[in-house]
A and B are shown apart, each in its own frame.
Chain A
Amino acid sequence: MKGATILQKFLQKILRFSSHPLIPSPEHKILAQSYSFSPELQHHLSGRALLAEEISFPADLLDEHFQCGYIGRILGVSLEDSKFQCNRCGNQNQNQFFTFPCSRCKKDCTYCRNCIMMGRVSSCSYLHVWTGPDVIFESGPNPLAWTGSLSEGQSHASDRVVDAVTNKEQLLVWAVCGAGKTEVLFKGIEAGLQSSQRICIATPRNDVVLELVPRLKKAFPDIAVASLYGGTVDRHLLAPLTVSTTHQLFRFYKAFDTVIIDEVDAFPYSADKSLQFAVDKARKSDSSLIYLTATPSAKMQFSFTKGSLKGVTIPARFHRKPIPVPIMKWCGNWNKSISQNKTIPPAISAWVKKRLENNTPILLFFPSIKIMENSLPIYQKLNPDLEAVHSEDPERKTKVSLLREKRIPGLLTTTILERGVTIPNLEVAVIGADHDVFSESALVQIAGRVGRSIEKPDGNVTFFHYGKSNGMVRAVRHIERMNAEAEKRGMLDV
């Protein structure tokens, strides 16, 4: 008997170590039905988990609601098995906690450094959640005003999305770059709104929020759409449809009936656990979860093939032409030639020169800012108007526009432009494609920049390397497989 409990404890420990952080449940009193609660507070707090300082209502009003069971509290940082856990961001990395003499609780207090930029969560602070009656959203019978048409692949996926939303299921939508992912969601969102669901589209990037919101507002003209990203004004808008950066999801708690995660793979591996926690915390226990991506992680691809994750593929672009398959080209020691010899490997310079002569806009992807900056002056000898961009470049957007308007011939870039850039006629080269940063998904995304317009559905993608990497080989195979599937399903015009 005693042995069994020890074993049990031991197993629990192992499981705890390998498992994701648990979603906390709030402590709350029994609901006093007779209490006339504040509807403003209800709107402010529904589906959120906020620190007292994030709630712009008087402290005694909060306390009154707590006493009457309309507000529940979750400890900001809890201690379990002598390990700290942040209940806002799910952080369990003990290096990311710090203990200090706190003037609020007059004790040594531990706070989470992982989400400090959202304000300090510590062992003496509470996250407040609404435990009173839900806010009911009413939408008209036909909220969708969009009248465009879907391709065969889109239409099939769209039906699956509707099913998943209606039946509160999980679904992977694996759609190639340029398939038209957003339109695939419209019918599903409509179905959700019709059944009074609260829906969230989450994406890792600010740019995507900004691009998506006007399209959704146009498609659903009578529905309030809240857009949430760093420094946004809609922070307290309670809307049936929310578009949010994944970061902002940390402030939600059991809010959504449907969560759609766009570009689920666009995270560094380390952020994965944190994101999983944010999504699990933000959605209701009975809710649907839709992953939307062109490049699912190996783990997700495995679950999909095995059948444990339901999914649907859109293997062809809306223009019914195959995706350009990257060419792998050996170019010698690209790093040495730039850093020591200050020259461009001949294979690469020939590729670049040809495009400069033909006025074909180009993106040249580099493995790091440093390598790129060392290369820029050498490439500018080919054409002085070539520019470079990276994540911290404040003129990133301007430079991309300049390329689109053909006012500069090309851009050197880090992986920052692997997603979201659509420029007609574009061709791309990856310099040092065998470098670790160019994973399968990064390379598939990069190749996905080419041939997106109906006018020019093809184009050249070249991976310059000094020995093929697994990522390169898998990326090429990935694209070939998608093209083959598209052809088999009759989605290509040849």
Chain B
Amino acid sequence: MFNIASGQICVLCDTPIQNDITWKALLKKEGASLCRDCEGKLEKIEGDTCKGCSRPFDGLSLEFRFGDLCFDCVRWDDNPDWKGYLTKNISLYLYNDFLKETIAKFKYRGDYAISQAFSQQIKQRLNKLEFDLVVPIPLSVDRLQERGFNQSEALIRSAGLLPVNILSRLHTEKQSKKSRHERISLHQVFQVEKPESVQDKIILIIDDIYTTGSTIRHTAKGLIQSGARQVMSFTVAR
């Protein structure tokens, strides 16, 4: 696959990248895929965050915070239908206007190369995690045909990992058109096709964005019910 990083051009804005000359860069030949300007526009999620979903507490009103958790995570955990399926979610960046635009170009315009913009950070963060399988969120057949690729799978591949496709989608309607209540009250969205492959495994779900968390929690529920030991998730945006 043609690698834009080796051409030293920013994958988001096409300007040449000025790499720091370090031993690491020279030895690993690992150039950045983003220029400083674009990197600067991405806001890393750091500091005090919700242990459940990576939501930053900074700027969040106190009434929505319950110890280490945010109000949304408390609500999920209070619901016996949902408690205990997703161990935690980790997210890289705040979903600001720049990232919104970038993800829209990636997903809806179909600019696959953008998945490389996040690969270095994803690799770095995943180094510290232990897991057995990386699972993408599946798209419906129609949507996959329309877009030509699954964004979740593209992120996984660009980070040098192998996506394991063991899920299939039962509903096809667009998530973004539904309210939170509608999203979480759906019975079953995903089906695990080969339950034997997840037995006792620690599974990492990777997706582009964590909004209400319902997609990811539906997936987690399906996986745990099929025998997985633990499910975590990782998203680019939160």
**B145:A104 contact, CB within 8 angstroms:** yes
A160 within 8 A of B: no
Interface of chain A, helix or strand or loop or mixed? mixed
B189 within 8 A of A: no
A464 within 8 A of B: no
A243: min CB distance to chain B, Å = 26
**A98:B4 contact, CB within 8 angstroms:** yes
B23 within 8 A of A: no
Chain A residues with CB under 8 Å of B56's CB are none
**B112:A100 contact, CB within 8 angstroms:** yes
Complex Cα spacing A111 to B9, Å: 17
Which single member of B1, B7, B14, B149 contacts A103 (CB below 8 Å)?
A: B149
Complex Cα spacing A63 to B113, Å: 31
Chain B residues with CB under 8 Å of A88's CB are none
Interface stretch of the complex, out of B75-83, B84-92, B103-111, B194-202? B103-111
B119: min CB distance to chain A, Å = 13
**A117:B105 contact, CB within 8 angstroms:** yes
Chain A residues with CB under 8 Å of B1's CB are 99-100, 108
Count of residues in B whose CB is under 8 Å from the partner chain: 21
A95 within 8 A of B: yes
Q: Which residue of A lies closest to B150 (CB)?
A: A103
A122 within 8 A of B: yes
**A103:B4 contact, CB within 8 angstroms:** no
Chain B residues with CB under 8 Å of A94's CB are 2
Contacting A at CB under 8 A, from B143-169, are 144-150, 154, 157
**A113:B111 contact, CB within 8 angstroms:** yes
**B105:A100 contact, CB within 8 angstroms:** no
A221 within 8 A of B: no
Q: Which residue of A lies closest to B144 (CB)?
A: A103
Chain A residues with CB under 8 Å of B147's CB are 103
**A103:B110 contact, CB within 8 angstroms:** no
Q: Which residue of A lies closest to B141 (CB)?
A: A103
Chain A residues with CB under 8 Å of B112's CB are 98, 100, 111
**B145:A116 contact, CB within 8 angstroms:** no
A39 within 8 A of B: no
Complex Cα spacing A326 to B130, Å: 69
Complex Cα spacing A395 to B4, Å: 36
**A95:B111 contact, CB within 8 angstroms:** no
A237 within 8 A of B: no
A133 within 8 A of B: no
Known: A101-B149, A103-B149, A108-B1. A95 touches B109 (CB 8 A): no
Known: A117-B109, A120-B110, A120-B111. A95 touches B4 (CB 8 A): yes
**B110:A111 contact, CB within 8 angstroms:** yes
Contacting A at CB under 8 A, from B1-49, are 1-2, 4, 7, 9, 14
Complex Cα spacing A113 to B11, Å: 10
**B149:A100 contact, CB within 8 angstroms:** yes
**B2:A97 contact, CB within 8 angstroms:** yes
A102 within 8 A of B: yes
Contacting B at CB under 8 A, from A93-143, are 94-104, 108-109, 111, 113, 116-117, 119-120, 122
Complex Cα spacing A445 to B104, Å: 37
Chain B residues with CB under 8 Å of A109's CB are 148
**B113:A122 contact, CB within 8 angstroms:** no
Chain B residues with CB under 8 Å of A103's CB are 144-145, 147-150
Q: Which residue of A lies closest to B109 (CB)?
A: A116
**B105:A116 contact, CB within 8 angstroms:** yes
Known: A103-B148, A103-B150, A120-B148. A98 touches B113 (CB 8 A): yes
Q: Which residue of B lies closest to A118 (CB)?
A: B109
**A116:B110 contact, CB within 8 angstroms:** yes
**A95:B7 contact, CB within 8 angstroms:** yes
Complex Cα spacing A53 to B146, Å: 9
Complex Cα spacing A104 to B149, Å: 8
Contacting B at CB under 8 A, from A262-317, are none
Chain B residues with CB under 8 Å of A113's CB are 111, 113
Complex Cα spacing A96 to B10, Å: 11
Complex Cα spacing A105 to B2, Å: 18
Chain A residues with CB under 8 Å of B110's CB are 111, 116, 119-120
Complex Cα spacing A94 to B2, Å: 10
Chain B residues with CB under 8 Å of A99's CB are 1-2
Q: Which residue of A lies closest to B143 (CB)?
A: A103
Known: A103-B145, A111-B110, A116-B110. A98 touches B105 (CB 8 A): no
Which single member of A95, A120, A122 contacts B9 (CB below 8 Å)?
A: A95
**A102:B7 contact, CB within 8 angstroms:** no
Complex Cα spacing A161 to B157, Å: 57
B142: min CB distance to chain A, Å = 11
Q: Which residue of B lies closest to A94 (CB)?
A: B2
Known: A95-B7, A111-B110. A102 touches B149 (CB 8 A): yes
A196: min CB distance to chain B, Å = 38
Chain B residues with CB under 8 Å of A122's CB are 148
A295: min CB distance to chain B, Å = 27
Q: Which residue of B lies closest to A120 (CB)?
A: B110
B208: min CB distance to chain A, Å = 16
Q: Which residue of A lies closest to B115 (CB)?
A: A100
B213: min CB distance to chain A, Å = 26
Complex Cα spacing A109 to B147, Å: 13
Complex Cα spacing A96 to B154, Å: 18
Q: Which of A94, A96, A101, A111 neighbours the largest number of chain B CB atoms within 10 Å of its CB?
A: A101
Chain A residues with CB under 8 Å of B157's CB are 101
Chain B residues with CB under 8 Å of A101's CB are 149, 157
Contacting B at CB under 8 A, from A446-472, are none
Chain B residues with CB under 8 Å of A102's CB are 148-149
Q: Which of A95, A109, A113 neighbours the largest number of chain B CB atoms within 10 Å of its CB?
A: A113
**B111:A116 contact, CB within 8 angstroms:** yes
B1: min CB distance to chain A, Å = 5
Complex Cα spacing A108 to B109, Å: 18
**A98:B149 contact, CB within 8 angstroms:** no
Q: Which residue of A lies closest to B110 (CB)?
A: A120
Which single member of B2, B14, B145 contacts A98 (CB below 8 Å)?
A: B2
Chain A residues with CB under 8 Å of B111's CB are 98, 113, 116, 120
The 5 A-B residue pairs with the shortest CB-CB distance, nearest first, are: A120-B110, A100-B112, A98-B113, A116-B111, A103-B144
Contact sample, A vs B, 9 pairs, CB 8 Å cutoff? A94-B2, A100-B113, A100-B154, A101-B149, A101-B157, A116-B105, A120-B110, A120-B148, A122-B148
With A100-B154, A103-B145, A120-B111 known, 8 other A-B pairs at CB within 8 A are A97-B2, A99-B2, A100-B112, A103-B147, A111-B110, A111-B112, A116-B109, A116-B110
Residues of A within 8 A of B (CB): 53, 94-104, 108-109, 111, 113, 116-117, 119-120, 122
